[in-house]
Amino acid sequence: MFTQSYQNILVGIDGSDQAMEAFKKALNVAKRNYGTVYVANVIDHQIYTFMSYSPLNENIMDQLTTDAKNLINECKAVGKEFGYNKIEGVIAYGSAKEAMAKTLPEKYDVDLIMVGQSGLNAVERFMTGSVASYVIKEALCDVLIVHPTTK
């Protein structure tokens, strides 16, 4: 019988409920496999250009980086409550699609990417396309899409 053991799990976090749900499920997978969860926030300058913001200046970049660090710390706190601390925070800059599908998996030897179904609203998805859809098609490893829990 074939069993899959995932040692390096990548989760994209953007502050959305879907991303946090994916992170929590990644904690379960990592705990079962004694693996590491890499929580990544990708600061994608293209989204801000599409949404009519001026090119990212230093103040905006500093704020986005601070926000990313806060998201990572929030995930580490959730992991601690869950009883699992093999969590590495990653802040990347550039295309979220490329970072999640290729760059970060190569850099961290990722064998599973877990993403929330969508952290974008309909307009943002139309303008930028779904990161999850791109990751499914282009990823260098297995991908698990976490659908929102219905209440």
CA of 72: how far to CAs of 37, 49, 84, 90, 134, in Å? 11, 24, 14, 8, 23
pTM (predicted TM-score): 0.85
Task: Give pLDDT tens digits for 45-90.
Answer: 665 544 555 555 678 888 899 999 999 999 999 999 999 999 999 9
- In tens, the pLDDT along 16-32 reads 888 899 999 999 999 99
**Mean of pLDDT values over 119-145:** 74
Cβ proximity of 54 and 103 under 8 Å: no
Instruction: Indicate the length of the chain as a whole number.
Output: 151
Task: Give the distance between the most distant pair of CA atoms in the chain.
Answer: 55
| Side chain identity at residue 80, one-letter code | K
